[in-house]
Structure 1
């Protein structure tokens, strides 16, 4: 877990500012805005319990959480090895602006694009 979620950092600054009794108009405004994308990494203790290569079908994708905005998404992800990432994507069917299946496709496309960039860069650096 890298702890690089900007919302977590802002929330921590807000908590510290309240503890220190320091008013922050910036933090008050930012934290009152709706978060249309709420993400969190789920730590995966299973990956150390058995050999993923030997038993790839024995791993659980875990659970997730709902969106925090009516027109948003809740996305939990689990990095379960070098080549295995699980996503749990949720949204409200009542929102005409969200579609969990479409969002999953976009995440997959983005990951494939990043892999292609990485592979292209690796090929180009090996030629020099």
Structure 2
């Protein structure tokens, strides 16, 4: 398959995945996501005193990736493209599992995203710098896929 055809297919798949993701996070934000269903099943099982091997298995799974968006409220006060030095990179948080990552991100205007990636030094499985580099490379790959000019890094 030629490069341009492959890129067109990848762009199509990326757009389909983005639409699916948007639908899933809208469901989660309105209480209709899988987490809400699992929580309700858990509450009902506790109320009824029913032991559920399914729930025991699912709820014992470690959360190795904890993510959250950090809002940038001062963005409304000025144009971040004209005043990039007035942006704060926000804060971060630690991983919730010993062998996991904590990743906070902040979308600052149309052309800037900040990431804070954390992991525990005690884990031989994780490396925050490596994970951050993978995020950066993924964003560069997406920019290349859609032929977005690279910003100075």
Q: TM-score, normalised by structure 1?
A: 0.77
Match of 2:82 in 1: 54
Are residue 4 (structure 1) and residue 25 (structure 2) matched?
Answer: yes
Gaps of 5+ in 1: 121-128
How far does residue 27 in structure 1 lie from its aligned partner after superposition? 4.7
Larger CA Rg, structure 1 vs 2: 2
Within the candidate set 85, 98, 114, 1:70 is matched to: 98
Report deviation, 1:14.
2.5
Question: Would you say 1:42 and 2:70 are equivalent positions?
Answer: yes
Give the total of aligned pairs: 118
User: Do the aligned partners of 2:42 and 2:55 also contact (CA within 8 Å) in 1?
Assistant: no
Distance 1:27 1:80, change over 3 A: farther
* Structure 2 Cα separation of the partners of residues 97 and 81 of structure 1: 34
User: What is the distance in 2 between the residues matched to 1:73 and 1:103?
Assistant: 9
SS in 1 for 2:146: helix
Give the superposed CA RMSD.
Answer: 2.7
Q: Secondary structure at the match of 1:30?
A: helix
Task: Show CA shifts across 1:68-109 (max 9, x none).
Answer: 111110000001111100001100001111111111111100
Distance 1:7 1:107, change over 3 A: farther
Change (3 A) 1:67 1:6: farther
State the partner residue of 2:40: 16
Gaps of 5+ in 2: 1-21, 149-153
Look up the SS of the partner of 1:119 in the other structure: coil
Q: Name the CA distance, whole Å, in 2 between partners of 1:28 and 1:14.
A: 11
